[in-house]
Amino acid sequence: MVGLVVVSHSPALAEAAVAFAMEMAQGGTRPRIATAAGVGDGVFGTDAAAIRVAIEEVDEGEGVVVLMDLGSAVLSSELALELIDPDLRDRVYLTSAPLVEGLVAAVVQASSGESPEEIIREAAAGLRAKQEHLGNDHTTGESAPPVAGHGETATFKVGNPHGIHARPAARLVAEAKRSPAQVSIRNKTVGSPFVPATSLSRVAALGALSGHEIEIVASGPGAADAITAITGLASRQFEDHVDDDRIEDMRRPADPSPPGGPLPASSGIAIGPKWTLSVVEPSIPDSDGEFDAAAERRLLDTAIASVRHDIAASRDRLIGRDDNENAAIFEAFLLLLDDEEVTADIDEAITSGRSAAVSWSSAMERVENDWARLADPYLKARAADVRAVRNQVLNLMLGTDAEIHSQRGILVAADLTPTVVARLDPDLVTGIVTAAGSPSSHMAILARSLGIPAVVCAGPSVLDVADGTQLIVDGSAGTILVDPPAARVLEYKSRAADLAVAAAEARGRAHEPALTKDGTHIEVAVNMGSAADVPAVLAGGADSVGLVRTEFLFLDRKVAPSIDEQESEYRKIADGVGNLPLTIRTLDVGGDKPLAYLQGSPEANPFLGVRGIRLSLSRLDVFRDQLIAIARVAADRELSVLFPMVTAVAEIRQATRILDEVLVDQGVEPDRVGVGMMVEVPAVALNTAAFAPYVDFFSIGTNDLTQYGLASERGNPSVAHLSDGLDPGVLRLIEGVVSGSGDARVAVCGEIASDLDAVPVLIGLGVDELSVIPRGVPAVKDEVRRWSATEAAALVDEVKSLASAAAVRAAVAARRKDR
């Protein structure tokens, strides 16, 4: 019997189509059917490898017929044919039949034992009955434009103050897509032609303003229901009830931070005008000559899938905060990425031999121009949203990043990547506010390292504040004041001046040892991101370099750095810090720091996947190159190597064995190089004694230990309030590391090491070293000096049995006040 394969961008669509078609085969022998749909993790797309597996699964020797939905499904299926055995390839047939009707016909014919040729003929004719009933020309497969009176019709008036812009358009399109009917709409007031109601780009370009009359025509099954659903949605203003009051709300002083935000991310007070990023447009190379269509389609699909994942994550974070209004903005972006009107233009251009970058850019520019020509200023502004999505996909395809131009004042953004923050000029950027984000995100870490006050998770309303509006940002309290009165400005300027005096006094003592009042020495080390941090390290007064993050060498590039390039950078750091003890951490990527050129199969949860030492041990070529570069530097000076994300004893044993081999090859005695491992996994914290014989020191990464221990992803603002390293459960994990460490030293290199509330708690737990950001060294040393080890131990006895991190902080504040 002939086998059938369904290729679709959507797993749900494929499964539903198969279930529906199989009902038609009742009473007979059912054919074997397999689906190849989506690209994993709920992401739309098609995968040639999955299609190949599906073909091989249903083949019984009599042939396989493949039905596809659209666009890349065809290209991926063609590529799959190149991946299978030639004998099987000769009996695989790709058909242009419509997916649903064609599949029903194919199942019926295959159940009757028909040949592949007969199955294809009947499947291709699957639309005939519908076309004849509707009076369409089925010889061309093109439907006549909808006209009033043909099918179900209705009209409604637009009640939304800003018309049918991105949010209401997205809801209208989503409703139309839910119906099996063919739905078209037009702006009757301006006399526009009908457009498909399933195309966001066409619906938004109708220029439907408040009061305009919109006509709907629906035909086919479910037409009446579609009309009822859409007109009902219109009567509710498409559930889009955003008005100007929320902007006025932002002009009032912020209330105490509710769960989820706003949240303090980087301490300090900033006062200045609000500004947003101006980004240089990606430069598209000339595209003379012809390009391989399949390769270009894969390039575009990969970029779109990545952008879709990022946008969906932003949408889901807002939904998690019950902010469905603004989540709809991101839903509109997702619909735009899958707009059939747009993808059809792109597919045609790629098939004709144009590059993916040019094809994508041209299609999106047409949509942008359509929206920019609209009369209403609010709708015209949505063209910028199209431009942003266009550029996001282009930058991924071209392997480029937009150039950052810092301005004086407070940067406000939806969210920021670490790359963007690293390129900011701290002399100009006095503060940062993000609508999303988390205090323990890498963006926040970089803001702290640059000394830029920051508040995150402030909500999307902050994006509506006009550029140039004066803001006050208190990065210690998580407070944002918009257009504050003069008295509040003076108050915060005075507080900022007091903070500056206290910081100056701490800097004056920074190079002195950090001794508790009863003489216990706590080493205060520094975390470094690159050689650019050397001046800050030397000025800060750190006792050592507790952690050099080597990711800076591997990010934002297409291939891994060479051994020579790595050696050069590590030497710059080693020479720059002079005689300070130095610890270099091996590559720590994966999770929220992926590298496209090192990733394997897609992971449903990359935070629990191949990251840190797991990735290094799976790519021994890259791992050995990094260790060789480190060993060359170790030949000239003492240093230590730190391995991240260790979970099993076998991992640390394998890593140290490879390190020893490399050191010997480079003429370095292994005993000269210290070996440490990060403690980020709760199971390791509870079993530290098993690892102690293989290391000289442990370094607790409290960022990951906290997110794993509390099951709260640190980049998700809806659970950001849970990700506090002072949670009593996390403190007990740290206590476990200390008690099981034996003769090995214990350091804390996560963000709570820089948290002044955490300093006495960590001292009381028996930690030997705090590794902090360069700017944090003076304040942390001063905090150590305010406590005795005995007082800190008593504090720990009190707080480790409390109910929450907030209770721990309150207890620390009370002890500090009583002393």
810 to each of 397, 815, 818, how far by Cα in Å?
Answer: 49, 9, 12
Short-list 309, 380, 389, 310, CA closest to 342: 389
3-state secondary structure of 284: coil
d(CA 94, CA 325): 43
Residue 420 has, within 13 A of its CA and on its CB side, a CA count of 21
- The three-state secondary structure class of 770 is strand
Q: Which helix (H) or strand (E) holds 626?
A: helix 620-634
Q: Strands 454-456, 263-266: parallel, antiparallel or unpaired by DSSP?
A: antiparallel
Nearest alpha carbon to residue 174 among 45, 332, 310: 332
Taking residue 715's Cβ as centre, other Cβ atoms within 10 Å add up to 22
Q: Which pair of tokens denotes residue 687?
A: 């079993």
Indicate if 457 belongs to the active site: no
DSSP annotation string for 607-621 = GGSS-THHHHHH-HH
Phi, psi of 745 (to 5 degrees): -75, 155
- The rounded distance, in Å, linking the Cα atoms of 783 and 795 is 15
H-type alpha helices, 238-323: 245-249, 293-320
Strand order, beta sheet including 429-434: 263-266, 454-456, 429-434, 409-413, 269-275, 470-474, 479-482
User: 43-59 burial, b if ≥16 CB within 10 A, otherwise e?
Assistant: bbbbbbebbbbbbbebb
347-351 long-range contacts (CB < 8 A, ≥24 apart) are: 347/70, 347/71, 347/72, 347/297, 350/291, 350/293, 350/296, 350/297, 350/300, 351/293
Q: 503 phi and psi, to 5 degrees?
A: -65, -40
For residue 749, indicate whether it is catalytic: yes
CA angle 614/616/619 to nearest 5° reads 110
> Residue 614: is it exposed, middle or buried by C-beta count within 10 angstroms (0-12/13-18/19+)?
middle
* Inter-residue contact 698 to 769 (CB < 8 Å): no
Other CB atoms within a 10 A radius of the CB of residue 562 amount to 12
Strand 269-275 and strand 470-474: pairing? Answer: antiparallel
- Which residues are within 8 A (CB) of 160 and not within 5 positions of it... i.e. 6 or more apart? 168, 210, 237, 238, 240
Q: Which of 9, 442, 457, 721 is catalytic?
A: 442
Q: Given the structure tokens 């003069």, which residue do they identify?
A: 486
Q: Which two tokens mark 145?
A: 């434009």
The structure tokens listed for 367 are 């949509």
Give the active site residues. 442, 749
